A and B are shown apart, each in its own frame.
Chain A
Amino acid sequence: MSQQALTIDGLETVYDALATAIDQAGADKAQLFLVKLALLNANALADEHLFQQQITAALQDL
């Protein structure tokens, strides 16, 4: 994974923002919202191999 990492404060901010946004999207749109977000993140990441690693990590321990 990347050397860069969020600060604890930053991670907490992301945590709250994402949870709030999922609630705002509503149960029937949460999946769609998360996929849109993933695509925006992937584009910002600009690295399809790193994104694949993240997919693998996220698929673990479901």
Chain B
Amino acid sequence: MHTPTTEARPSIYYTYEVFKPWLASEHPKQDRQKVVIVGSGPAGMVTALELARHGVASVVLSAELQFSQGSRAICFTRRSMEILQQVGVAERMTEGGLPWRFGNSFYRGQRVFRMEAPHDADDRFFPIINVQQQFMEEYLHDACKANPLIDFRWGNKVNKVDQKDGYAVLEVDTPEGPYAVESDWVVAADGGRSGIRTALNLQMEGASYEGFFVIADIKINLPLPTERLAYFDPDWNPGNTILMHREPNGIWRVDYQLPAGETPEEALRPESLKTRIDAQLAMIGHAGVPWTMDWSSVYSARTLTLPDFVHGSVIFTGDAAHLLPIFGVRGANTAFQDAQSLGWHLAFVVKGLAGPTLLANHSTERVGAAREIITEAGKSTRFMAPPSPGFRLLRDAVLSLSLTQEFVRPLYHWRTSRPHEYTHSLLNSAGDDNGLFKSGPAHGAPPQNVRLAANDFLLDHLGGGFDLLYFTDTALPEALQQAIQTARAQGMPLNVIAVGATQAVAGADQHLPDADGHLRQRYGVPANGGAYLLRPDQHICARWLTLDATRLQAALTTALPQ
């Protein structure tokens, strides 16, 4: 019998709702499911929403009866917001969030590095927005609840996953005892301590770093802007690093490294937390400002990934698939990209529009992304928390030099999470004009957003299937229309946007006037007849200086391998 707590979690700023458990006895017996998603964090819920967007139903199992404890993930990148826009929650994130784009690194009281993240006029979203994870989960949950294709089950804990031939049987424990559910596919979105990963005895590859960080949320009134603050080697915590972030609702995140040898239990004692937070506040000139503790936890940096995310009927995603250090906001932001990718790849396989090769492609692309992140985040981690005497010596030498020497200061850059480019994806068209373009997003790249008018951006018009941006001011050629119709007749969702047309044109579902040619310029299209093909995750899989029906047909076939 699984009995999750029915007591609302404590929080200064967030009122937890305790949901009713889903009980098998209250529902009719159910047939085999298409997809069961284990875990209701960012990865699980975005996967469910993306699947639903492509018409695929899923069951989401949450072991708990409420959203996760504490703020956890607080910094969400532009690409995350673009993904959240696709699943309908970006507006709520924006309403309650604190956007920012500057970061500061301090050493011996001097600001030795200032990061200014670019904010293009063509971007709808800021480089980063701070929102506490409970709110983000609430927004996603509301979207799931409103979707008839998502069966959300609180208080359902997976005990066991048995892989059968082409499906899996899950034993799910609830407050009235266990029940069994069969599913063609199981998405393991059960977090960093994934029970399914352990049960399948899967090994992750990569490194774990020694040294712990305390992560503490305090309510305090500090007259400081929303910018990232990083303090290196301060007197009160010699050799170690402290990070601070403003969160919404009067909360500040204080994140500090522990001296070597100190245990998490010692570090989380209230008097230990108080002494250190007081010391940090004193160091930044705010000694004695009253504060109260909301939540604290301890973490260590790891750069680990499964080498394959697909195992039989089970697909791992988010933290269940990889463990990434928080430096550079890699956790939830990577999970959103994983889930967006998984959502459409899996949906197209479930619907029979593509074969298992497509799922293998998902795994290859996202493992590649995880490895790229591990390489980048490893650099940040080795600077923030040096793993050996040599790395410590180099880091200390850079701190010291940075007071006077400009050339070392970029080493403070924390390499913010950015979307992986699927440059060598199997889905990229071989016979297009990718190499002939002089600018614009290339094969595998995420899309470049473009401001079209006040509160109107290119990405607002994309998603839900493949998108063909065709640059024209008149009707699409007959042969192209024919190729599009053929693809649609085979079940492929394909949205055609005529860019440069001032009115509706034959063969296009939408038209964007692009009167000043700005969109065309950002996409590097020299003349009418050029085109871009975007996958359902909006990454580019083909682009042409002059599109013809044969090459479109070839690109569509390549994009959905059997």
Contacts and interface: CB of A to CB of B under 8 A. Distances in A.
Interface of A: 31-32, 35-36, 38-40, 43
A36 B407 contact: no
A35 B394 contact: yes
B393 A40 contact: no
Interface string B393-413: 110111011000101100000
Interface in B288-320: none
Contacts of A43: 405, 407
Nearest to B401: A36
Contact of A32 (B393, B405, B408): B393
Interface in B374-431: 393-394, 396-398, 400-401, 405, 407-408
Contacts of A32: 393, 396-397, 400
B431 to A, nearest CB: 39
Nearest to B400: A36
Contacts of B405: 40, 43
Given A31-B393, A43-B407, 16 more contacts: A32-B393, A32-B396, A32-B397, A32-B400, A35-B394, A35-B396, A36-B397, A36-B400, A36-B401, A38-B397, A39-B394, A39-B397, A39-B398, A40-B401, A40-B405, A43-B405
The 3 lowest CB-CB distance pairs between A and B, nearest first, are A35-B397, A36-B397, A43-B407
B407 A35 contact: no
Contacts of B401: 36, 39-40
Nearest to A35: B397
22 contacts: A31-B393, A32-B393, A32-B396, A32-B397, A32-B400, A35-B393, A35-B394, A35-B396, A35-B397, A36-B397, A36-B400, A36-B401, A38-B397, A39-B394, A39-B397, A39-B398, A39-B401, A39-B408, A40-B401, A40-B405, A43-B405, A43-B407
Contacts of B398: 39
Contacts of B394: 35, 39
Nearest to A44: B407
